[in-house]
Each structure stands twice: as C-alpha cells, then as structure tokens.
Amino acid sequence: MNNIFETTFKNISGICVQTETLRAIFLPEYGAKLVSLVYKPQNYELLAQDENPIYLPQSETSNYTEQEVSAADDLFPTIDPCKTGFANDTEYPCHGETLRVKHDYVIEDNKLVMSFTSKKFGYRFVKTVYGGDRGELKTAYEITNLTNTDFPCIFGLHCMLRAEAGGKVITFEEPGDVTVMFDENAQFGARWEQVKLAEAMLTSDPYAKDGNAYKYYLCDKKTANQCGYFNPVLNKNVMLSYQSEGMPYLGIWMNNGKFKGMYNVALEPCSAPYDSPVNAKNKGCEFLIKAGETYGVEVSYDVR
C-alpha cells in the first residue's frame, strides 16, 4: 500500500498520509495544515470541518476568523496578535505566522517533511509526519531560532476535534483551578478569572446555534504527556500524546455552536499558556527559544 500520495481536499491539492487505522490529509501550500483525519475502521472524520465546500486559506494578511477555521493548525509564534520587542518589534500575527504561509515539502523514507523559513522573524520551522508502529500518526516538530536574540514565543497545537453530545475531554490531571480566557454566555467565569474545573466544563453540550463557546487553561504545568476526548459515537478515546516538557500547558476550547455555527472541542497543548508570549510573561510562564537553539516536540494522534 502506498502510504503517502497526492490527493485533494475540497477544491485544493494536498498530501495524504495513511497508517493502518488513520488517513490524514495535509496542505503544504497552506500552512502545512492537518486538514482531515479519518478513523478508517468506522470511516469517521475526527476533526471539525467548515461546511463551506470551497476552502478559504489563511494568508499573511487575512482576517483569521473570516477564512477557514477548522481541523488542526500549528500555532507559532503566538495565538493573539502582540508585540514583544523581538524582530524590531514586528507584530506577531493572529494565530501565528506558520499557518498562513506556504511550506516546501519532500517525501522521503516514507515520511512527509514540510518546512518554512521565516524572513520576518528569523526562524526555521520543520514538520515531519509518518506512521507509527501501532497505527498512530506521528508529527515531529523542530523550530530553530536563526537569530542572535532569544525568541519569546508560544508553540501550540490547535486541534479542533469533531464534538458529539456527551463527549468529554480527558486531561489526566487532578481537578484544580483553571483560568478563563473567554466565556461567551458567562456560564463559568469572566476573562482571567480563576475557577475550579467543573465536570460541565469538560463535557460537550448538545449542539445549538447559540450553544456556549468558552476557553480556559489549566493553571499549573502538567505532568501528563497526553490529553484526549472521549467520543461517544465511536465509543473510543481520540488521543494526543507528546513530551510534557515541550508542551507543559493545556488549553481547552469548547464550542457548542456559537462560533461560526460549528461544533467542536479544541485541545491545545502548548509551550506556554494564555494565548500570547506577552500574557505568558506577565503571568510568570515565559517561553523562549534561545538564540541559535532548536525547540523540538513530537505529537502522536491515536484512537483507542
């Protein structure tokens, strides 16, 4: 079986990477995005999809929410736009630069390797995708700071999973406090409020057009190296595994319909919390890639 081959998604070209149990499609020309992930035994799309049959790619100048917001993006060097003084105080774009630009790619040794070098910020981003021994999909990242200045940044995964009523986020952490980033219906708390993590905050409500959308971060660094979502339709857990030292924080975004009429839960393991390097620094959680150094982490997708 040919495990890596050219394909199409909606109206654009992509690259398919298959394992025994998963079929993934990546878009090298559009941010190296993981745009589809199908669990083959049940032919079930795991990622939340935009219903528009035309794919609207992000660009270097696009409004993020007005384009395609779906599936799994790599967020670097920020989520919220900000300035840190780095790169002549150039503004970090909304949800980062890497998802907005074309990546070069090669297929070698049964791996898909996508890469981009930023002239604006002076880093090299390399994303390598391949199948694991148990049928999981592995994605290895290397981000090298090519400058002679330490780079304040955030690297995070924006994995928008398809939600199902009664589905539940799995954190592998003892219940504790979380910091609310937003809560559209004021159900759990106001921005920056610390509240006790409640069962309801982890559970997908039935879909409704005005269903609440909210996001929060677990307050403390995690020791767990995985997170997931129990999908009641599959009766299985959709899992993300990674190195906890590379992604020691976890953001969770539940959308029960209010955002763009979509129904999703987003798992966002990350190198620093609170949506921007500025916020992270102000909260004592600053993350830097030192001058000339490389940050690396591997994320695996699995259903079990």
CATH of 4-303, one of 3.40.50.300, 1.10.10.10, 2.70.98.10, 2.60.120.260: 2.70.98.10
Sign of the dihedral defined by the CA atoms of residues 193, 196, 199, 200, in that order: negative
Which range is least confidently modeled, 117-126, 168-177, 210-219, 276-285? Answer: 168-177
Give me the mean pLDDT over the 252-280 stretch: 98
The CA radius of gyration of the chain, in Å to the nearest whole number, is 18
Instruction: Kindly provide the b/e burial profile for residues 90-129, where b requires at least 16 CB atoms within 10 angstroms of the residue's own CB.
Output: eebbbbbbbbbbebebeeeeebbbbbbebeebbbebbbbb
Model confidence band, residue 95 (pLDDT cutoffs 50, 70, 90): very high
Tokens representing 217?
A: 């971060």
Alpha-carbon distances, residue 37 vs 9, 184, 203 (angstroms): 12, 28, 22
| Residue 50 reports pLDDT greater than 70 | yes
Give me the mean pLDDT over the 43-58 stretch: 96
Tell which wins on pLDDT, 13 or 1.
Answer: 13
Tell which wins on pLDDT, 224 or 100.
Answer: 100
Give me the mean pLDDT over the 179-205 stretch: 97
